[in-house]
Amino acid sequence: MPYSPEEKKRAITRLRRIRGQVDGLERVIAAGSECGPILQQIAALRGAVNGLMAGILDSHLREEFTQVAVDPKIREQHQASIDEVIALVRSYLK
């Protein structure tokens, strides 16, 4: 779960954008639109959901693993490891 107020606001903003995309997708399907644009909207929706998931995972990892490190050097190492994991996850979610 996003912990800071900024992270919560960002997640809610993304969710509202996703809701708008879903509503738009429903409208084009109901209108009997061509498959190409429908598939393009579905891909955009998938990307938006994956972005939300990556953002929340990022927040979770940082909260769980950087708070436990008291030593600044270890905290820095944790941050670097988290950055690597998040970059890897984001690359797979594209």
31-81 pLDDT, tens per residue? 999 999 999 999 999 999 999 998 888 888 888 877 777 788 888 888 888
**Across residues 15-39, what is the average pLDDT?**
95
Residue-wise pLDDT tens digits, 77-93: 888 888 999 899 888 88
46 and 76 Cβ atoms separated by less than 8 Å: no
Count Cβ atoms below 10 Å from residue 41 Cβ, excluding itself: 19
Phi then psi for residue 67, to 5 deg, are -70, -30
Considering just the CA atoms, what is the radius of gyration of the chain in Å? 17
Which domains are seen in the chain, by residue range?
5-93 (1.20.58.1000)
* Three-class SS state of 2: coil
pTM: 0.78
Residue whose C-alpha is closest to residue 79's, from 94, 58, 93, 52? 58
Q: Residue 2 phi/psi, 5° resolution?
A: -65, 135
